Structure 1
Amino acid sequence: MDHKVRVLMTDDNAVMLMGLQQVISVDPELEPVGSAENGEEALERYRTLQPDVVTMDYDMPGWSGVETTAKIIREFPDARIILLSVFESEEDVWSAVQAGVKGYLTKKAGEIEDVLEAIHEVAAGGTFFPAAIARKIETRRNQPELSGAEMAVLRLLGRGLCNKEIVDELGISAAMVKFHIVNLREKLGAADRTQAVIIACQRGLIRLEE
């Protein structure tokens, strides 16, 4: 590449942004050109700066990193975005891939150092998914999709609601609730509703705080 790779960094943690800038600045072929602390700011900075690569935080106030990625790529289809996350469940990774990220790294101390290699690879037109992340993508690719109605029931199961409470919450019949639960158990490979919730949490489909 004839010019330095221009990198826009997005993270709501000022310390993380400072650390990223220091790491990127060490590489003579890379140039940090700006930063953003939330998704809306990231989109505006992208429009203004037109960077070669974006490092995107997953968990931000307002738009998430996945939502921000989707919005940027909708407007700039050739955008090259690497997502950095504390989350690494199948569903977290898969949603990022579906949004269009070219790379996915966790914020573990050992892996954050891979960000330089990831930036170079993505800037050159490639992708960067470490082996553990790639395996999760492949596993999730082969999982059956849950419908919107099934996800609604699953979230309520995660909150500990019984069938009658789910009926009241969603305004559907008891028979339909049972139908969705049977489908959820089958798609998740669960023996009962409790195991369905456990598997859903492990995969990142739901989080209990929801």
Structure 2
Amino acid sequence: MCEDTYFINNGMGACVSMEENTRILVVDDNALLRLGLTETFNIEPGFEPVGQAANGSEALELVRKLKPDVVTMDYQMPGDNGIETTRKILAEFPHIKVVLLSVFDSEEDIFKAYTAGVRGYLTKKAGEVEEVIEAVQEVAKGGTYFPAAIAAKLEERKEKDDLTPREMEVLQLLAEGCSNKEIVDRLGISLPTVKLHIINLREKLNAADRTQAVVHAFKQGILHLNA
């Protein structure tokens, strides 16, 4: 008798290896991309696409129901984005592997995804379908997949100081065009404290003034135009 459940009897008394397919959930708010990835995994040996989701809430619901091995996760989606959804999934199912597919390739976006627990990160503008397959194969085996350019940006970001939650609030208000007085009123803090936060933001973002701090924040992916 074959003791390993991944083996079957070949009819002649011998056990033949039958590798289990990697179960994949495809998450993307673009229906054509979802369909394309699903069809690709469907015809690729070793994969079993088990479902599709258009947003974070659908993804979490299907993960609970279908128990995939790997999730290919879109970054920008209605409601919870891919990073927030990844955190929720891994909080319940830490064994599931997530590969994030994003139009963003800034240090901050990559770092946020890494700290959320993704095992792979690919940019949609550069990532061909073959690379997505390679990434999923790698993470399914327990590895990680961060292309050289992505890995380099991640290492650079790890060396920088994080912005505090309060600094993020001040930065967001600066991006909205608020004056120091308006920030005082909005956050309920003193004017000297606001000025100190702006000084810290300028130092951390390597900016000459408040305007440049906002510009650098957008370039680095700390802020997004649709945020």
TM range (shorter): over 0.9
Matched residue SS, 2:146:
coil
**Within 5 Å, which residues of 2 pair with 1:143-182?**
143-182=160-199
For 1:45, the equivalent position in structure 2 comes to 62
Where does the alignment leave 5 or more consecutive residues of structure 1 unmatched?
none
**Distance apart, 1:86 and its partner CA:** 1.1
State the one-letter code of the partner of 1:107.
K
Q: Specify which of 27, 31, 51 is matched with residue 10 of structure 1.
A: 27
Distance 2:139 2:46 in 1: 14
Question: Does 2:188 align with 1:188?
Answer: no
Once the two structures are superposed, residues 41-95 of structure 1 have per-residue CA deviations (whole angstroms, 9 ceiling, x without a partner) of 1112111211111101111111111111101100011110101111111111111
Cα deviation, 1:157-208, whole Å, max 9, x if unaligned, reads 1112221121122121111110101111111111111211111111111124
Shift, 1:111, TM fit: 3.4
Matches of 1:190 and 1:22, distance apart in 2: 46
Structure 2: state its 5+ residue gaps. 1-17
Tell me, in whole angstroms, the C-alpha distance in 2 between the residues paired with 1:150 and 1:163. Answer: 13
Q: CA deviation at 1:209?
A: 4.5
Match of 1:86 among 74, 85, 103: 103
Q: Residue 105 of structure 1 contacts residue 112 of structure 1 at CA under 8 Å; is this kept in 2?
A: no
| Runs of 4+ residues over 4 Å off in structure 1 | none
Structure 2: distance between partners of 1:110 and 1:64: 19
Q: Give secondary structure in 2 for the equivalent of 1:133.
A: helix
SS at match of 1:98: helix
Letter in 1 for 2:136: I
1:109 Cα deviation after fit: 5.5
Which TM-score applies when normalising by structure 2? 0.88
Q: Tell me, in whole angstroms, the C-alpha distance in 1 between the residues paired with 2:53 and 2:225.
A: 29
Residue type at the aligned position of 1:15: L
Quick check: 1:36–1:42 contact (8 Å CA) kept in 2?
yes
Change over 3 Å in CA distance of 1:109–1:23 after alignment to 2: farther
1:23 shift after superposition: 1.9
Match status 1:135 vs 2:152: yes
Deviation at 1:110, TM superposition (A): 4.6
**Structure ranking higher in helix proportion:** 1
CA distance in 1, matches of 2:210, 2:167: 13
Match of 2:221 among 196, 204, 208: 204
Structure with more relative contact order (C-alpha pairs < 8 Å, separation 6 or more): 1
- Structure 1 counterpart SS, 2:223: coil
TM-score (norm 1): 0.95
